[in-house]
Structure 1
Amino acid sequence: MLHPEHHPMARQMPGADKAISYRTSLLECLINPDPRHHRHFIDELLRETVPVRTLAVHLFAPVATELGNRWCTDETDFMQVAVASTRLSMIVNHVSHASTVSTVEPTAQRRVLLARTHGAQHTIGVSIVASCFRDMGWAVDGGSDLEIDEVLYERLSRKPYDLLGISVSRVDEIRECTEVIRRVQTTPKIRRVKIAIGGPAVVASPSAFQRIGADFVTRSALDVMQLASHI
């Protein structure tokens, strides 16, 4: 997760070297107490021509992983990680929305609904996934504020979606995810939607999620990019 450049397909993404070169400076501005640093970083990224999907795979996802690693090793405390994650989400969302220029007719756009389990503490992964889909021309609904509850089923029934993406925070939420998948697949009005699951729990224990009925199990931003290009 820290070095997607080792994947042959990821290495060929346009602007990969430029995105990789920003990792250290992005980490520094996320942790720096002065908020002006990350604002300047946003301006610098917007001046570049690196595609958002490349930034997602080679910059945003590895930096998010590094923040998690620093928390686990006590190099960074909870509050520092929380602030850094909030700043990273802000950067991802700002760059993603500013760079999205869709040439697809709205009626022809593929549409994804993103949601998360109740136990999620850090939702930067959902923002990164959303940025990948937007950059590939998808209409993106939901996000880190949408939990897998009744509101989710209401949203699914209002308009047709090609994909439902669920970010899972903890492995012990597998039963909850299984119930969502079963309910979607047995409800006539929404059962045609494909279901993808990902998130920290899936990265940690992918085998635990292989047989719960999801159409796709994703472990990285690169997986999401490949998924989006094949639906």
Structure 2
Amino acid sequence: MSAFRALATVDYDRSLSMLIEGEIIPRLMIAHSLDKPVIEIAAIDETEIAALAPLALAVDADALLAHIEAILARGVTIDALMVDLLAPTARLLGQFWEDDRCDFVDVTMGLWRLQEVVHEIAARCPADRMLSAGGHRALFASMPGDQHNFGTVVVDEVFRRDGWVTDRMSGPQTPDLIKRVGDQWFDLVGLTVSCDAHLESLTSVIAALRNVSKNRCVCIMVGGRLFSADPWLAVKVGADGTATDAISALNVAADLVRVRESAALEA
């Protein structure tokens, strides 16, 4: 019996590896090559991103929300707002900091205001596809040690609106993150990485998550500018996939979970 189990494990690992290499990674590369998300209704342009970033630094959350409401009023969808406007604006604020155009406190306050806008808009516009993801559960967290987690907020909200049951950890310590994954069942764990310095420890964190996960077939995705620039880096650190934005991540995550579940049934 033990020999049979060992053979089944080998076959499972082989088939899963072939499926990921033959299907998931090509999709990952296609997602990376797309210039724009699928959503094109009342599209956001670069000038709006350039205008919103300094606005987030200068006004309070209520004034920022009023500005966002005017954009929604012209027909921009919630998902497009988050993926095409708010997320790039957050990245631009980070660039302001790196270029010494503003200090860390300013950026933190600007990101906090953007996060307040996300929560307010999401509360007013509940998800309309609550059953579409089949009850799959996902945990999203910023990499332990990262100072900013706006990307995690956006991806968590986009997945929730698509019907996933989501959980989110902001600025977790590594033991807390590992404990959460060990205590609860997740089909997917998504980690956002905003700092190059944390890349070195990412491989060990991913390995630890797989080791303790209640779901032995858990899928792990990573995101952030490092992986947008080099999607193959996701494979190098031991993740199953990445995507350039939250909308693309939905498609990649659905494929990853489907392949893992199919492989588990065949094992």
Q: Equivalent of 1:224, from 246, 249, 259?
A: 249
> Could you state the TM-score of these two structures normalised by the residue count of structure 1?
0.79
C-alpha RMSD of the superposition: 3.1
Q: For the residues of structure 1 that align with 2:160 and 2:45, how far apart are their CA atoms? A: 18
Q: Deviations over 1:133-170 (max 9, x none)?
A: 1222211102324x252322332234321100112233
Aligned residue type for 1:53: D
1:37 paired with 2:63, answer: yes
1:186 corresponds to which residue?
211
Matches within 5 A, 1:188-227: 189-203=214-228, 208-227=233-252
Would the alpha carbon gap of residues 16 and 62 (structure 1) be closer, same or farther in structure 2, given more than 3 Å must change?
Answer: farther
TM-score in terms of structure 2 length: 0.69
Correspondence 1:27-66 to 2 at 5 A: 27-41=53-67, 43-44=69-70, 50-66=76-92
Q: Distance in 2 between matches of 1:83 and 1:44?
A: 22
Farther off after superposition, 94-103 or 55-64? 94-103
Matched, 1:81 2:107: yes
Higher helix fraction (1 or 2): 2
Secondary structure class of the residue paired with 2:117 = helix
Specify whether residues 69 and 44 from structure 1 end up closer, same or farther in structure 2 by C-alpha distance, changes over 3 A only.
same
Task: Give the 3-state SS of the residue equivalent to 1:217 in structure 2.
Answer: coil
Larger RCO: 1 or 2 (CA < 8 Å, sep 6+):
2
Compute the displacement of 1:99 (Å).
2.0
Give percent identity, aligned residues only.
26
In structure 2, what is the Cα distance between the partners aligned to 1:152 and 1:124? 18
Residues in 2 aligned to 1:37 and 1:188: alpha-carbon distance in whole angstroms? 43
Q: Which has more radius of gyration?
A: 2
Structure 2 counterpart of 1:54, one-letter code: A
Taking the aligned partners of 1:222 and 1:104, their CA distance within structure 2 comes to 16
Q: Which residue of 2 aligns with 1:114?
A: 140
- 1:116-195 map, 5 Å: 116-145=142-171, 147=172, 149-187=174-212, 189-195=214-220
Residue 196 of structure 2 aligns with an amino acid whose one-letter code is: V
Change (3 A) 1:143 1:188: closer
| 1:170/1:200 contact within 8 Å kept | no
Distance in 1 between the 2:107 and 2:189 partners? Answer: 28
Deviation at residue 25 of structure 1 after TM alignment: 5.2
Which residue matches 1:3? none
- Aligned partner of 1:67 in structure 2 is 93
Letter in 1 for 2:238: G
Change (3 A) 1:8 1:111: same
